[in-house]
Chains A and B, each alone.
Chain A
Amino acid sequence: MLIVNSPVVETIQVHENIYIQKILSPEIARDIRPGQFLNIRVSETTNPLLRRPFSICDVDGDNIFIMFNVMGEGTKILACKQSGSFVDILGPLGNGFNLEDDYETAVFVAGGMGSAPFPYLTRKVKDSKKIISFVGGRSKNDLITYSLMNVHTSTDDGSEGFNGNIVQLLEKNLDKLTAEKIKIFGCGPNAMLKSLKDFCLKYDFNCEISTESAMACGFGICQGCPIESAANPDRYLLVCKDGPVFNSKDVVL
């Protein structure tokens, strides 16, 4: 965990509202694992005040990549940072995906911006595992398949791929999933993660999900990011420190 001021190499617009930013940050690149995140201060002024959390999207040598959707002021400022600007990064943060489990096929399930952590995960597991990626969105403009392998898509409005949600698409492809030892990795909005969790319980799949929460610090000191624990109803887990990746059985969504 460190704070570094790193130069932006380039910022590329990949969709209407979506950007990929390449940042030269050897210190972060060396240590960060898929599923971990960075808390980025986009401005030295007090507005916006807090850092903004982003998943690590990819790492290539000394460069790190984040992929983000322009939502409000913070991401707007970030999107305007071109080569030569600096970003103030606090990270790596949180627990990443567990890649040591016993499985043969990695199944990635992404909803909307939930695709963000999968390029790096793909890079890390593609040589040793088979990969199937399921990518969902409201409509075809929300499908983010950048750097993903073996992609199946679904849209709520049927404008591309399967017409329905991503978990329905998984259910439809159940035969592909029961053939071998699989592990499911999910990232996306909470409602999607909840139905993914239920799906995995029903068919007894091992599943890790990357969760989201409002955050102030990102490293465990503010208690701002609680998530209900399945094991202990008397205390919350913290998304930033105990997560953001959890086994889907360990949290209540």
Chain B
Amino acid sequence: MSNVDLSVSIGKLKLRNPIMLASGTVGYGNEISEFSDLNKLGAIVTKSLSLKPRKGNPPQRIVETPSGMLNAIGLANVGVDVFLKEKIPFLKKYDVPLVCNIAASTVEEFVECTRILDSEETIKAFEINVSCPNVKDGGLQFGNDIKAVGLVTSKVRAVTNKPLIIKLSPNVSYISEFAQVVKDEGGDAVSAINTLVGTAFNIVTKKPKIFNINGGLSGPAIKPVALAKVLEISRKVDVPIIGIGGIMNWKDVIEFMIVGASAVQIGTLNFIDPAAPERMIKELEDYCLSNGVNKISDLTASYII
């Protein structure tokens, strides 16, 4: 028996290990449970939920790019009511912390979604996806507008006592300023990063390869950017960080923790190797054993610069 302590805390949220599955890359858990024992994971984050069901964008929604992919799914999801009625019963069977990710087009909708979901005890925390257009305010993404991020944080904070994580957009000049606002307005943690805006064109037809024109870039191509954003937050703001972006193996997890992450989320990799996250837990343990790390949380922000 090993005596490595893999548990981590993200503010009030306690996880048995730092491996979380990222929003939009696990659906609502049922498919991935065929490949991974959900009970072994740190946490799973649902697809972004909105107040009403959303159909999402027409095809084509995804395209592969060098070491990455672009997606413009358009937040297709079943909506909070169907989620509570049809998806929660499956998730209840597991003893894995469930984080509900919420997307909305207005501040009021963020608040309303959180309020409805808050009474469901299976939900252990909220992650707010601010990478969605703010319909009432000219359609600019909440995540690019520091005032909007502050407002969403404070308004949602007012309706829940559960851990509140704001998922930051990397498409800003100084992500640490956004993290500071989240902390000031009562958020418990930030996750970084969501996808980077990108596009791809067909050189014969001269048309965009995805219907929405722009998509969100994910996968190993974005890892260096994500690491830099996590490091920036870690050096400037005293707030727990969940590191996300291009993680393909346990070494990437360690790297994210070193630059400041308390936990990590695995995204695109789930599409390629849905058994990988569970496998990584054992590999992290082996790393800790052979490197004299007793508590994996000691790695967080252990960078030497």
Question: B-contacting residues of A (Cβ < 8 Å)?
Answer: 1-3, 41, 46-51, 213-228, 234-236, 241
Decide if B61 touches A224 in the complex (CB within 8 Å): yes
Decide: A226 near B58, CB < 8 A? Known: A217-B271, A219-B31, A221-B26: yes
Decide: A221 near B58, CB < 8 A? Known: A49-B67, A236-B76: no
Decide if A226 touches B61 in the complex (CB within 8 Å): yes
Instruction: Please name all residues of chain A whose beta carbon is closer than 8 Å to the beta carbon of B47 when the two chains form the complex.
Output: 223
Query: How many Å lie between the Cα of A220 and that of B87 in the bound state?
Result: 14
A-B contact count (CB 8 A): 95
Majority secondary structure of chain A interface residues (helix, strand, loop or mixed): loop
Decide if A226 touches B56 in the complex (CB within 8 Å): yes
Decide if A224 touches B71 in the complex (CB within 8 Å): yes
Question: In this assembly, does B121 line the interface, its C-beta being within 8 Å of a C-beta of chain A?
Answer: no
Query: How many Å lie between the Cα of A236 and that of B272 in the bound state?
Result: 23
Decide if A213 touches B32 in the complex (CB within 8 Å): no
The 10 A-B residue pairs with the shortest CB-CB distance, nearest first, are A217-B271, A224-B62, A46-B67, A216-B271, A221-B27, A46-B220, A220-B31, A223-B73, A223-B76, A224-B61
| Residue on B nearest A241 in the bound complex, by CB | B31
Query: How many Å lie between the Cα of A222 and that of B73 in the bound state?
Result: 8
Instruction: Please name all residues of chain A whose beta carbon is closer than 8 Å to the beta carbon of B59 when the two chains form the complex.
Output: 213-214, 225-227
Instruction: Report how many residues on chain B are interfacial, defined by Cβ distance under 8 Å.
Output: 38
Query: How many Å lie between the Cα of A68 and that of B22 in the bound state?
Result: 33
Decide if A222 touches B55 in the complex (CB within 8 Å): no
Query: How many Å lie between the Cα of A223 and that of B219 in the bound state?
Result: 16
Decide if B35 touches A3 in the complex (CB within 8 Å): yes
| Residue on B nearest A234 in the bound complex, by CB | B55
Instruction: Please name all residues of chain A whose beta carbon is closer than 8 Å to the beta carbon of B61 when the two chains form the complex.
Output: 214, 223-226
Decide: A221 near B31, CB < 8 A? Known: A226-B58, A234-B53: yes
Question: In this assembly, does B68 line the interface, its C-beta being within 8 Å of a C-beta of chain A?
Answer: yes
Question: In this assembly, does B69 line the interface, its C-beta being within 8 Å of a C-beta of chain A?
Answer: yes
Which of B25, B76, B248, B274 is within 8 Å of A226, CB to CB?
A: B76
Query: How many Å lie between the Cα of A3 and that of B271 in the bound state?
Result: 12
Question: Smallest distance from the beta carbon of A214 to chain B beta carbons, Å?
Answer: 5
